[in-house]
Amino acid sequence: MNTIEEAPIGRRRRRRYSVEFKAQVVAACQGPGVSLAAIALHHKLNANLLRRWVEQAEGSARVAVASSEVAVQSAEAPAFVPVPLDTMNVRPAEIRVEVRRAHQSITVSWPTSEAAQCAAWLREWLA
């Protein structure tokens, strides 16, 4: 039994799809866990063609987002926005060195304002 249909005589024409059809099929691909191949089969499309449509739609969406970000940035926004800090609950930064040997450990805390002195002490101690 022959299951292959005879090709029509003459030149094959490329199918053209409307923008609305493309948008509808691409929107169907946006759901979580959706198979592009299954949607392509359902609409009698080549999966590679559908993948190209989806990539083009995502690319144009990225361009639209980027251009809107440029428009927002070009508005007169201040270059510096002061942010108030709660200095009452902020601990001063410190350098902490912990040395362990066998079952003993030593922790040395040093203020970051004296970092150069801490480095000199470490060099002397490790020499």
Q: Decide if 54 is inside a domain.
A: yes
pLDDT of 66 higher than 60:
no
- Is 116 within the bounds of a domain? yes
pLDDT tens digits for range 8-60: 677 878 888 888 898 888 888 887 788 888 989 988 999 999 899 988 888 77
**Type of residue at 101:** R
User: Does the residue 103 lie in any domain?
Assistant: yes
Distance CA 26, CA 34 (A): 11
Residue 53 in domain = yes
| Residue 123 backbone dihedrals phi, psi, to 5 degrees | -60, -45
| Least reliable range by pLDDT among 23-37, 43-57, 67-81, 86-100 | 67-81
Does the residue 7 lie in any domain?
no
Residue with the larger pLDDT of the pair 44 and 90: 44
46: containing domain: 19-74
Residue type, 23: A
- Who wins on pLDDT, 32 or 63? 32
114 and 69 co-located in one domain: no
The answer on pLDDT for 74 being more than 60 is: no
- pLDDT beyond 70 at 98: yes
Summary mean pLDDT of the chain: 78
| β-strand partners of 111 | 94
| In a domain? residue 86 | no
Give residue 124's pLDDT: 86
Q: Which residue has the higher pLDDT, 44 or 75?
A: 44
How wide is the angle at C-alpha 11 spanned by C-alphas 5 and 17, nearest 5°? 85
- Would 61 be classed as within a structural domain? yes
